[in-house]
């Protein structure tokens, strides 16, 4: 049984907004990235998993429990970082965390303390005076402190600076090693690329693709950048049988897209040229999904 299962979920807000026949399965121990542009439906999906929204049709389950009917039980299984953090009335971060611990029946605060240290958070600050990043860190500690089996994270690095983002990626990798199931939405492909086993792309409430991250990274089509020493070599190369994706005449540069099996042919051809340098352009998850996104828009 998958840990989280979304079956034919539809929530129609009207005007083409909402979620439409969404299907996703997240296995136990999987770190699952959920990416899409603003308004794509990420938060709406997460709110269904948390049992805050009732599906128009379809179902969402966590460990076999229906997220709407069993929402109270579901919430106990999950550590949740909301997309928009609104703290209940509490004077300081410490007081808020203490009240959360009481609600969770948590005696041992050592895990919370470790998170506070890793995130370099001063929780004694007044909540209303905290920066966006500090509030986000406080929400992260609150979500993780009971050491839940499942983490549902809606854009968890919002407001964090790049160093703290890197720290957060380390924390997620540790949690993954400890067997946690993590579902995380993000705008940032780099973030999911370094943490997630699988990534799903959502657009206008519909699922576009679900891919294992390694499969995307090990794409067999590579893009190489070549620069020639002389312009005549650059011009001559243009008539070679390679797929040239970009020409940069004033730098004597070309970008070519080539399948792994044709690499030897490329190197043989280049023996007849004076090449200043050749470099592989790393193919990222962003490139992959942007390609899919464009394809989907062309067919729409």
Ligand X SMILES: Nc1ncnc2c1ncn2[C@@H]1O[C@H](COP(=O)(O)OP(=O)(O)OP(=O)(O)O)[C@@H](O)[C@H]1O
Q: Which residues bind ligand X (CB under 6 A)?
A: 13, 17-18, 36, 38-44, 83
Q: Smallest distance, Å, CB 154 to ligand X?
A: 7
For the bound state, the minimum distance from the C-beta of residue 224 to ligand X, rounded and expressed in Å, comes to 34
- The contacts of residue 95 (CB under 8 Å, 6+ apart) are none
Which of 45, 63 has the CB closer to ligand X? 45
Least separation, in Å, of the C-beta of 157 and ligand X?
A: 13
- The residue among 38 and 239 lying less far from ligand X, judged by its C-beta, is 38
CB of 15 to ligand X, least distance (A): 8
Q: With respect to ligand X, which residue has the nearer C-beta, 13 or 267?
A: 13
Choice between 104 and 210, CB closer to ligand X: 210
- The rounded radius of gyration (Å) of the Cα atoms in the chain is 24
Pick between residue 186 and residue 213 the one whose CB is nearest to ligand X: 186
For the CB of residue 54, give the shortest distance to ligand X in the complex, in Å. 12
8 vs 280, beta carbon nearer ligand X: 8
Instruction: State the Cα–Cα distance between residues 192 and 198, nearest whole angstrom.
Output: 9
User: CA 127 → CA 88, 95, 119, distances in Å?
Assistant: 10, 9, 16
Shortest Å distance, C-beta 13 to ligand X: 3
């Amino acid at each position: 049984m998958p840990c989280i299962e979304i079956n034919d979920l539809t929530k129609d807000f009207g005007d083409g907004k909402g979620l439409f026949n969404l299907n996703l399965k997240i296995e136990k121990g999987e770190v699952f990235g959920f990416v899409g542009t603003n308004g794509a439906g990420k938060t709406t999906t997460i709110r269904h998993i948390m049992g805050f929204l009732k599906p128009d049709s379809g179902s969402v389950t966590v460990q076999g429990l229906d997220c709407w009917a069993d929402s109270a039980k579901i919430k106990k299984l999950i550590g949740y970082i909301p997309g928009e953090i609104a703290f209940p009335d509490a004077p300081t971060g410490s007081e808020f965390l203490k009240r959360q611990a009481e609600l969770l029946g948590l005696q041992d605060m050592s895990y919370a303390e470790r998170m506070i240290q890793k995130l370099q958070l001063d929780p004694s600050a007044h909540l209303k005076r905290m920066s966006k990043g500090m509030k986000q860190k406080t929400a992260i500690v609150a979500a993780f402190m009971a050491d839940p089996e499942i983490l549902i994270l809606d854009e968890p690095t919002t407001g964090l600076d790049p160093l703290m983002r890197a720290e957060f990626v380390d924390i997620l990798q540790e949690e993954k090693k400890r067997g946690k199931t993590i579902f995380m939405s993000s705008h940032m492909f780099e973030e999911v690329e370094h943490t997630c086993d699988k990534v799903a792309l959502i657009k206008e409430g519909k699922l576009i693709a679900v891919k294992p991250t390694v499969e995307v990274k090990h794409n067999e089509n590579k893009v190489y950048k070549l620069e020639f020493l002389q312009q005549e070599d650059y011009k001559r190369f243009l008539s070679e049988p390679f797929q040239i994706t970009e020409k940069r005449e004033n730098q004597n540069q070309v970008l070519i897209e080539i399948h792994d099996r044709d690499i030897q042919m490329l190197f043989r051809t280049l023996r007849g040229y004076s090449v200043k340098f050749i470099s592989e352009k790393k193919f990222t998850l962003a490139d992959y999904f942007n390609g899919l996104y464009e394809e989907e828009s062309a067919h729409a």
